[in-house]
Structure 1
Amino acid sequence: MDSATATPPPSTRLVLTRIPDSWAWMRPDLLVRLMPFAIAFAVAYAWSGGAGWLGLGPGNLTVQLVFAAVAAPTMFAAAAAVQLRLTRSRGTLLVPAGADDAWFQAAFYALNGPLEEGFFRGLVQGGIGITFVPPVGLVIATAAYVLYHRLGRWTWPETLATALVGVPLGLAFWLLPGPPSLLGVSVAHIAATCGFLGPGPYLLRKLKLV
C-alpha cells in the first residue's frame, strides 16, 4: 500500500483522573476487598500463634532488602511496559491528571501490596504449602491471585498480565534464602502496581509515550 494512503494508527484516548475520582473507587475498595484480606490474615496469625510460614517476620533481612532493591525498579519498568502494550491494543488509559493524584494512588498501592501479599502469599501459599508441599501452595495461590482480578472487571489480557507479578513473587516467597518473609515481595508488588496503574501511566504520559 502506498504510504500516502496508509491508515494511521489510532490514537490513545487518555482519561485523566484527579484525587476525588481515585478516592471514589478507593473508599469502597478498602472496605470490600482490603479489609477482609487484613482480617483473614490477622485471624490466621492469631489462630496459628504467629506461625512463621505466614511470612510476617523479616526473614533474612539482607536477602530481602537486596531482592527488593533489584526487583522493585525492574518490576515497575516491566509493568509500565506491559501497560503501554495493552494500552495500544485497548486504545484508552486512565492517567492521573497531576502528580498529586499519582502520589495519592501510590500511597494506596503501598497499602494494597502488603495486604494482597499477606493474603495470597502468606496465608494461601504459605498455608497450603505447609499443609501439603510448597509447589502446591505456589500453584494454587498464584492461580487465585491472577484470577481474582477478574472480579474487578479487568479484561482477560489485563488479568493474565498479573501472572507476571504472581509467578516471580510466589517463587521468591518460596525460594529466597532464610525464613519466609513478605518484606521483599511486598516492596516488589507495590512497585509493580505503581508501574501498571497510577504513577506508571502518569510517567508514560510525561514521556509522551501515550
Structure 2
Amino acid sequence: MYRNYREQKMASSKLKIVMFLGTVREGRLGPRVTKFIQAQLQSKYDITLFDPQEIDLPLMKKPLHFYKDRSQAPEMLVNCEKKLKEADAFILVTAEYNHSVPPALSNLLDHFGSSLYSYKPSGIVCYSPGPYGGMRAAMQLRCLLSELGTLSVSNIFGIPEIMKAIDEDGKPLNDRMVSGLNRMMTQLDWHAHSMKNHRDQFGLPQ
C-alpha cells in the first residue's frame, strides 16, 4: 500500500504550499527558519512565502471577503487570495510572544475567509531562543487553524534554542533539524495528497 502511494505521488505534480512567517519584530529569527525550510523542500514542493513584513498589511479592519466588488480590494490581498486558493497545504512558522501567537501572524491569517483554508492540511513549525521551542504559541495556533478549517497535523516541529539550531543563512547546525522537519512533512504530505485527491474527485461540501 505504501509503495503504491509513493509511486503515485512521484508521478503527480508538485504540491503547492503557502508558508506563513509569523513575526515582524525587530531582530526577528523567523527568516532563518523559512530559509532552512525552503532549502530543504524547494525541490519537492512549490512553496510560496507569505512574509507579513513584505506584505505589510495594516491592522485588520476589512478582510478581503468583506469586499463585494473584488476590483475595489487592495491588489496585494487579491494576489494573496489567488495563492491561497491554489494551495494544497500550509506551513505556519511561528515565534512565541508573551506565550501566545504573534499578532502579525493572526492579523495576516484573519484578512482572508476560512473558505480559502478549509479542507487543506497545515503544519506548525514553532521556535524560541529558549528551551520550550514556542510550543505554547503552537498550542494556541492549533486552535485557530482548526477554526479556519485547516487542521494541523499531529507532529509539531518545535525548535528550541534556535540560534544554536539554524544559522542566519538557514543552514542547520544539528542533525535534528532535518529529521524533525521530515517527520512533520511526512504527515503533511500524506494528508495534503489525500485531501487533494478527494477534492478533485468529489469537490467540496455545499
TM-score calculated relative to the size of structure 1: 0.32
Q: RCO higher in 1 or 2 (8 Å CA, sep ≥ 6)?
A: 1
Counting strand residues as a fraction of each chain, which structure ranks higher? Answer: 2
Counting helix residues as a fraction of each chain, which structure ranks higher? Answer: 1
- Structure number with bigger Rg: 1
TM-score calculated relative to the size of structure 2: 0.33
